[in-house]
Amino acid sequence: MSVDVKQFGKVAVVCGGFSSEREVSLNSGKAVLDALLSKGVDAHHFDPQETDISKLREFDRVFNVLHGTFGEDGSLQGVLDGFDIPYTGCGVLASAIAMDKFRCRLIWQGFNLPNVPYVVLDDHSDFDAVEREFGLPLFVKPAAEGSSVGVVMVETAGELAKVYPTLKQYHGAILAEPAITGGEYACSLLGDEALPSIRIIPAGKFYDYEAKYLRNDTTYQCPSDLTAEQEREMQDIAKRAFEAIGGRGWSRVDFLKSDDGKLYLLELNTVPGMTDHSLVPMAAKARGIDFASLCVQILAQTL
């Protein structure tokens, strides 16, 4: 893909911000900024925690790697639409839906897409009954946080009731899910193309924040161990899931596989990580696209 980078004009790489994913976002932003500069793009670091958001009017377009609240939930997208500034990734509606795992799954259910089973917890839930229904271990998580922030693995009877109050500090509904143990996978989308899937094998009990960003003993298989038929099925489901929420540009769709080989949608990320541990660059590399070229391709979607 050949692009005249002068077409991009002055580009803001928006990262950092105020969310629980600030540090990850800063790392993504630095990687993207360095990559764009290496390609000759007139790119600049922009952190909304440090600079008034109105200053974005001084730029021609935005490369958005502002993970989490404000950057990934449709808020920044609405501001940029109001400023009439092109930006990478999904628009307001798709961003807001994908950020809320509960409402995203309601839409996927309407399209008969395979969701991970779940229940929404509240102060009146019968926590013991949920443990009996899903069995142990099970997972409990806030619906509107990313990077596995707030995800807890419940392993002992009676623990769910104790964990639940600690998650009320986070955004969105609180979901409980059964453990699906046949493997965790990611399928990245770049425009109309699905990139090779990745199997994620954490050294710990599950793929938590530490395994994603801080540890170096997580194993990534790319291409993954899926059969050719399973790979086609995952790519088809990922594209349909993205289309169902009105997605555009690029994303990463996360899956779980059961022991009998059934695929389940876990969540969809509209502003995926772009650090040295991140999955979209890994999948692009397997397709023969280096990191800097990937960043230019994503930015070119704004033209």
- Over residues 193-210, mean pLDDT: 83
- Over residues 175-182, mean pLDDT: 95
For residues 7 and 5, what is the distance between their CA atoms, to the nearest angstrom?
5
pLDDT tens-place string over residues 234-287: 999 999 999 999 999 999 999 999 999 999 999 999 999 998 789 999 999 999
For residues 9 and 113, what is the distance between their CA atoms, to the nearest angstrom?
40
- Over residues 172-200, mean pLDDT: 96
For residues 242 and 267, what is the distance between their CA atoms, to the nearest angstrom?
10
Please report which confidence band the pLDDT of residue 212 belongs to, taking 50, 70 and 90 as the band edges.
low
Which comes out higher in pLDDT, residue 94 or 173?
94
pLDDT value, residue 159: 96
pLDDT surpasses 80 at 206: no
pLDDT surpasses 60 at 11: yes
pLDDT value, residue 277: 80
pLDDT tens-place string over residues 124-166: 999 999 999 999 999 999 988 765 778 999 999 999 999 999 9
Helices (H) and strands (E) in the chain, counts: 10, 13
Q: Which of the following is catalytic: 20, 147, 197, 278? A: 147
Give every CB contact of residue 72 below 8 A, 6+ residues apart in sequence. Answer: 66, 95, 98, 99, 146, 269, 270, 271
Element (H, E) at 254: strand 250-257
- Over residues 220-244, mean pLDDT: 97
The owner of tokens 């807890």 is 152
* 172 catalytically annotated: no
Q: Which of the following is catalytic: 146, 213, 224, 251? A: 213
* 21 catalytically annotated: yes
For residues 62 and 49, what is the distance between their CA atoms, to the nearest angstrom?
16
pLDDT value, residue 211: 55
pLDDT value, residue 139: 95
pLDDT value, residue 208: 60
Structure tokens at 228: 């050719």
Query: Residue 46 corresponds to which amino acid?
Result: F
- Over residues 81-97, mean pLDDT: 98
Q: Which of the following is catalytic: 19, 20, 224, 269? A: 269
Please report which confidence band the pLDDT of residue 209 belongs to, taking 50, 70 and 90 as the band edges.
low
For residues 53 and 266, what is the distance between their CA atoms, to the nearest angstrom?
32
Structure tokens at 40: 């000759």
pLDDT value, residue 204: 72
Looking at the DSSP bridge assignments, the partners of residue 263 are 257
What whole-number percentage of the chain has pLDDT above 90? 86
Q: Which of the following is catalytic: 87, 183, 273, 278? A: 273
Q: What are phi and psi of 168, to 5 degrees?
A: -70, -15
pLDDT value, residue 6: 97
pLDDT tens-place string over residues 38-52: 999 999 999 999 999
Q: What are phi and psi of 274, to 5 degrees?
A: -130, 40
* 273 catalytically annotated: yes
pLDDT surpasses 80 at 228: yes
| Range list of H helices, 135-202 | 159-163
Instruction: Tell whether pTM > 0.75.
Output: yes
For residues 223 and 198, what is the distance between their CA atoms, to the nearest angstrom?
6
Query: Residue 236 corresponds to which amino acid?
Result: D
For residues 234 and 43, what is the distance between their CA atoms, to the nearest angstrom?
35
Q: Which of the following is catalytic: 159, 184, 231, 267? A: 267
* 183 catalytically annotated: no
For residues 160 and 153, what is the distance between their CA atoms, to the nearest angstrom?
9
Angle 27-222-259 from CA coordinates, rounded to 5°: 110
Question: Measuring CA to CA, which residue among 127, 51, 89, 124 is closest to residue 246?
Answer: 89
- Over residues 167-176, mean pLDDT: 90
Structure tokens at 250: 């690029």
Q: Which of the following is catalytic: 22, 61, 199, 252? A: 252
* 213 catalytically annotated: yes
Q: Which of the following is catalytic: 16, 19, 20, 21? A: 21
